[in-house]
Chain A
Amino acid sequence: MAKTYDYLFKLLLIGDSGVGKTCILFRFSEDAFNTTFISTIGIDFKIRTIDLDGKKIKLQIWDTAGQERFRTITTAYYRGAMGIMLVYDITNEKSFENIKNWIRNIEENASADVEKMLLGNKCELEEKRQVSKERGEQLAIEYGIKFIETSAKASIRVEEAFFTLARDIKAKMEKKLEASNPPRGGHQIRASEPQKKPTSWLSRCTIL
């Protein structure tokens, strides 16, 4: 079967419940917005193919449940992720404060070289803002990651966020490929995630 893509990037959306992870994903994948709040159960994903520098890149974006009770399920996905979006709600101080906890979570569970990005969502609700843009930037700088304020509802900079993350991952990967072996073609992306062993998969299955 002809390959429909050059790269597959697995991205993960994490953050407190209600910060708008699903909405960001919905905006990015379907360019739509749904006001009714339905909290995500467990884990879900959407796929969108984007074009970057002439390469077809499939983004498989995992949307995790923010709720505590799904934490065991969601953390299982950290390891496979190549990029992680940390999302907080600018109208919710708590969700911003929790970003630190989420980052700790990433450090514990994800691979060390995972690309991260900080998103301050709901930036259209300026009048309800609790977290200033500067504080967001401050935090991003502290962790050495990029930062964008987005609005899934008003469709502000959502595309940009994903493209930026994808571009960063691509750059990092290509660099790594060049380092390990001379360029030979795009089919070697599997090499970027060789951590998994069959045994680990089986054991994980039984845990789940």
Chain B
Amino acid sequence: MDKSGISSVNNSQYDLYLQEIEGIDDYWGPTFRAIFDNNQELEFEKKLNERIKHHDKDIERLCNVYYQGFIESVKELLEVRSQANKLNSQVVSLDKQVHDAAGGITKSSSDLLQARKVQNNIASVIAQLNLCLPVFIIYSKLQKQIADKRYYPALKTLEELEHLHLPHVANYRFSKQLQENIPKYREKIEGASMSDLKDFLENIRKFSPKIGEVAMRHTNEQIASDPTVVGRKKKRNAPQPPGHFSDEDRSAQELIDFSPIYRGLHIAHVLGRSSTFEAYYRTERTKQVRLVLQPPSNMHESEESYRIYIYAVLGFFILEDHVLNTGRGLITRTFLDEMWSMALSKVVTALQTNTAYCTDASLILRIKDLIMLFCTTLRNYGYSVKPLWELVRELRDHYTEVLMQRWVQVFRKILADEDFRPIEVNNQEELNEVLLSFPWEGDLPDDIRYPYVFPFSSMVPKIYREVKEFIYACIKFSEDLNLSQVEVDEMIRKSMNLLLTRTFNGCLTSTLRSPHVNLQEIIQIIIDTGYLEEANIYLDQFISNITGEETRSVTSSLTHGQSALFSVSREDAVRQICEKLKQKLDEFFELENYDWLLVEPNGHASVYISDIIAFLHATFQSFTNIPQEAAQMACKSACDHIAKSLLAMLVNEEIKQISMGALNQLNLDLLQCEQFAASEPVEGLQEGILLTYFEHLREILDLFISWDWPTYFHDYAQETNKYKKVTPEVAIVILEKLKEGDKKTMFTVLKKSERDKKKLLETVLKQLRQLAQIPAGK
């Protein structure tokens, strides 16, 4: 309240009132009273209006000022809004950011929590696993061992697992399962070891021939390198050097892994099944040995089959020997010995049977070598081989047989190609050739004139050479046979004798029997055998040179044997000569042309008889080279045959009638024969011996021609009887014929003398019949 200065004292009052109103909001009464009291009211009212005007002005100015500010504020507010928006977005983004950040943390923390949990779990699991792990390690070891077929360690491991480890983890299920599995494993191991054993058995079956072969080769090398063997004869009884065994063993082991057996044995031992294992092994091996001992069906056909068979057997027993030595009682000596002795007999039988078929000498030789080597090797392993030696001996006999068979062919060929003519040489060269091929003792003339003829045929040197070849072949078998000289010597001599006496003689006999062989050839054969016999002494020496044995032929019984060497053939040859002669004689007899009712003979012998005699003379004269003995035999047989043929004609039933004239003719013929017999047709015959063949006929003819019946009956059965060879039976037959022959003439002529004659004849016949009734010798 500004009222002028006059008024200032009033104005200051008024200002005070204003201040009071202004200063006090509601307690204005006093103020107003005061105003009124002072009756200032109008001034005051003016002053108040002024104040109000001032205030209004002030408010206006203030409002003005504030409006400006308001505008500005609005402006600013607008600004703020945008900024607020901005801020808002900032906050929102920030919030988002924070939110985001917080979310990661939350996750991490939960993760962390989880991790912590896991960590805890892990720790506990590790602890448990530490307990279980050894079990599993052992278990896996077990598995590996089983897989590696190391069954024995596996078994040990199994035990460890069972007793050491499994109790610790007993509360686990797997433990229980393992526990349950343990017996199964045991079984499996046992089974596996058994199957291993089977594989092994199969394997050794496959390899044993190879082992046998190697062993045989070793033996062979050893024999070859052994200085004691290279010498004259080896000493098989000498103990083998100890190194030899290991050598063999190594080779066997090189080829065969024996560990399955040992392992199996260990396992069986651990499992307490040793006896089962043993029994199984033995049974299986016994079965196998049977298979091995079964020879291939065609073994006799080739050496290779023998080889395979022998290798297999040998291999089998080498292995068995090895098992015996190293197998800690898997097999016993007794078992092996039993098996061997069974096997040995079978081997021997098999070889025996098969070699019996063999006809090839060289194959037999090779088989022999094989068997010998087999024996030696077996002996080295301590097996007894005695029956095999026996077999070899048998084989030797068989070999000789086969050789003989072969030489039969050789001899046959020689004989078939032979012309049986004395060798004729035209020059010195050929002569020497013969002399070289055959040791001939005969003397050669000082000045040989060609062509020179040897007494023997080319068969002689050929046979001689072949016999030598045979001896060589025989000896081949004795090589390495470890026989004494005496044995070899004996064997060869025996074989040679057999060859000559049996084989060669047989060949000769069949040659002699051949229908085409003629007299001349037979005679040459006789001569040839003589020379071959003479050459025997050289063969004897030949053998002695080879065997180193003393020649024994000169003193021993062999000489006897040799002189009889070809006696069979020679007898046969002589018999053949006789046969041939008889055939010729029979041909002559075919030409016989007797007129049995001849009244009067013309005084000379029948033509055919003359021819026979001439022929015989010529024959014995021609065959100058026939040995005397043979000639004598032939001559005797010829005479015998003639006499018998004549007699046969006389008593021939077909001839019903005979005349005295015919008897006289026969007598003439007989005289011819007797003349021949007395003429010494061959040298060296005992005087009169040929005549004895005709005696029988002679007595008959004498009796009938002389009609000397009183003497016959008187001297009957006495030594001095002239007709002692005439039996009543023969006499009856001839007498009957004579009677028949007489009939025709007696028809017409019935003279008294004829009747007497007839009567006498009847009496004689009656007498003869009586004699015939009496048994001979009375």
Known: A76-B614, A208-B614. A201 touches B621 (CB 8 A): no
Taking CB as reference atom, which chain A residue is nearest B668? Answer: A198
Known: A196-B610, A208-B614. A201 touches B604 (CB 8 A): yes
Taking CB as reference atom, which chain A residue is nearest B521? Answer: A38
* Distance between B286 CB and nearest chain A CB, rounded to angstroms: 66
Q: Give A4 to B605 CA distance when docked, in angstroms.
A: 21
A181 at the interface (CB under 8 A from B): no
Q: Mark B598-614, 1 if CB is under 8 A from A, else 0.
A: 00000111010011011
Residue from A41, A45, A205 in contact with B623 in the complex, judged by beta carbons closer than 8 Å: A41
Q: How large is the interface on A (under 10, 10 to 19, 20 to 34, 35 or more residues)?
A: 35 or more
> Do A198 and B675 touch (CB < 8 A)?
no
Q: Mark A173-208, 1 if CB is under 8 A from B, else 0.
A: 000000000000001001001001110011011101
What total of chain B residues lie within 8 Å of the partner, measured CB to CB? 40
Q: Which of B603, B622, B649 has the most CB of A within 10 A?
A: B622
Residue from B603, B622, B679 in contact with A206 in the complex, judged by beta carbons closer than 8 Å: B679
A3 at the interface (CB under 8 A from B): yes
Q: Give A15 to B153 CA distance when docked, in angstroms.
A: 109
- Chain A positions within 8 Å of B621 at CB level: 42, 73, 208
- Chain B positions within 8 Å of A36 at CB level: 419
Q: Which of A190, A193, A201, A206 has the most CB of B within 10 A?
A: A201
* Distance between A28 CB and nearest chain B CB, rounded to angstroms: 15
Q: Give A197 to B668 CA distance when docked, in angstroms.
A: 12
Known: A58-B591, A198-B668. A70 touches B622 (CB 8 A): yes
A112 at the interface (CB under 8 A from B): no
Q: Give A187 to B595 CA distance when docked, in angstroms.
A: 9
> Do B590 and A47 touch (CB < 8 A)?
yes
Q: Give A1 to B607 CA distance when docked, in angstroms.
A: 17
A50 at the interface (CB under 8 A from B): no
- Chain A positions within 8 Å of B622 at CB level: 41-43, 65, 70, 73
B619 at the interface (CB under 8 A from A): yes
Known: A1-B654, A38-B521. A205 touches B676 (CB 8 A): yes
Scan residues 8-54 of chain A and give those whose CB is less than 8 A from a CB of chain B: 8, 34, 36-38, 41-47
* Distance between B652 CB and nearest chain A CB, rounded to angstroms: 6
Q: Give A58 to B596 CA distance when docked, in angstroms.
A: 20
Known: A42-B619, A73-B618. A198 touches B603 (CB 8 A): yes
Known: A38-B518, A70-B622. A205 touches B419 (CB 8 A): no
B546 at the interface (CB under 8 A from A): no
Residue from B587, B593, B603, B675 in contact with A47 in the complex, judged by beta carbons closer than 8 Å: B587
Taking CB as reference atom, which chain A residue is nearest B615? Answer: A43
Known: A42-B618, A73-B621. A205 touches B675 (CB 8 A): yes
- Chain B positions within 8 Å of A187 at CB level: 593, 595
* Distance between B772 CB and nearest chain A CB, rounded to angstroms: 25
> Do A204 and B614 touch (CB < 8 A)?
yes
B389 at the interface (CB under 8 A from A): no
> Do B604 and A4 touch (CB < 8 A)?
no
* Distance between A111 CB and nearest chain B CB, rounded to angstroms: 14
A80 at the interface (CB under 8 A from B): yes
Q: Give A49 to B105 CA distance when docked, in angstroms.
A: 152
B290 at the interface (CB under 8 A from A): no
- Chain B positions within 8 Å of A76 at CB level: 614, 618
A92 at the interface (CB under 8 A from B): no
B520 at the interface (CB under 8 A from A): yes
Q: Mark B516-534, 1 if CB is under 8 A from A, else 0.
A: 1011110000000000000
Q: Give A19 to B59 CA distance when docked, in angstroms.
A: 199
Known: A198-B604, A202-B675, A205-B679. A43 touches B610 (CB 8 A): no
Q: Give A34 to B516 CA distance when docked, in angstroms.
A: 9
> Do B590 and A205 touch (CB < 8 A)?
no
| B-side interface mostly | helix
Q: Give A41 to B524 CA distance when docked, in angstroms.
A: 12
- Chain A positions within 8 Å of B679 at CB level: 205-206
Taking CB as reference atom, which chain A residue is nearest B587? Answer: A47
Scan residues 559-594 of chain B and give those whose CB is less than 8 A from a CB of chain A: 584, 587, 590-594
A155 at the interface (CB under 8 A from B): no
Known: A80-B611, A201-B610. A1 touches B604 (CB 8 A): no
* Distance between B512 CB and nearest chain A CB, rounded to angstroms: 16
Known: A1-B649, A201-B672. A60 touches B591 (CB 8 A): yes
Scan residues 91-122 of chain A and give those whose CB is less than 8 A from a CB of chain B: none
Q: Give A202 to B519 CA distance when docked, in angstroms.
A: 27
Residue from B516, B519, B595, B611 in contact with A41 in the complex, judged by beta carbons closer than 8 Å: B519
- Chain A positions within 8 Å of B502 at CB level: none
Residue from B590, B607, B619, B652 in contact with A190 in the complex, judged by beta carbons closer than 8 Å: B607
> Do B593 and A3 touch (CB < 8 A)?
yes
- Chain A positions within 8 Å of B603 at CB level: 198
Q: Give A204 to B605 CA distance when docked, in angstroms.
A: 13
Scan residues 355-382 of chain B and give those whose CB is less than 8 A from a CB of chain A: none
Known: A1-B654, A58-B590, A196-B604. A208 touches B618 (CB 8 A): yes
Q: Mark B613-657, 1 if CB is under 8 A from A, else 0.
A: 111011101110000000000000000000000000100101100
- Chain A positions within 8 Å of B421 at CB level: 38
Taking CB as reference atom, which chain B residue is nearest A32? Answer: B516
Q: Give A208 to B584 CA distance when docked, in angstroms.
A: 19
Taking CB as reference atom, which chain B residue is nearest A204? Answer: B614
Q: Give A45 to B618 CA distance when docked, in angstroms.
A: 12
Q: Which of A8, A34, A42, A60 has the most CB of B within 10 A?
A: A42
- Chain B positions within 8 Å of A37 at CB level: 419
* Distance between B49 CB and nearest chain A CB, rounded to angstroms: 201
* Distance between B159 CB and nearest chain A CB, rounded to angstroms: 96
> Do B594 and A1 touch (CB < 8 A)?
yes
Q: Give A198 to B652 CA distance when docked, in angstroms.
A: 27
Taking CB as reference atom, which chain A residue is nearest B518? Answer: A38
Q: Which of A36, A193, A196, A205 has the most CB of B within 10 A?
A: A205
> Do A41 and B604 touch (CB < 8 A)?
no
> Do A4 and B590 touch (CB < 8 A)?
yes
* Distance between A165 CB and nearest chain B CB, rounded to angstroms: 18
Q: Mark B42-82, 1 if CB is under 8 A from A, else 0.
A: 00000000000000000000000000000000000000000
Instruction: Give 10 CB contacts A-B under 8 Å.
Output: A1-B592, A1-B594, A1-B596, A34-B516, A38-B518, A47-B587, A187-B593, A190-B593, A196-B607, A208-B621
6 nearest CB pairs, A to B: A42-B622, A208-B617, A198-B604, A73-B618, A41-B622, A42-B618
Residues of A within 8 A of B (CB): 1-4, 8, 34, 36-38, 41-47, 58, 60, 65, 70, 73, 76-77, 80, 187, 190, 193, 196-198, 201-202, 204-206, 208
A sample of 11 more A-B contacts (CB under 8 A), given A41-B519, A190-B593, A202-B675, is A8-B593, A36-B419, A38-B520, A43-B618, A45-B615, A58-B590, A58-B591, A187-B595, A190-B607, A193-B607, A198-B668
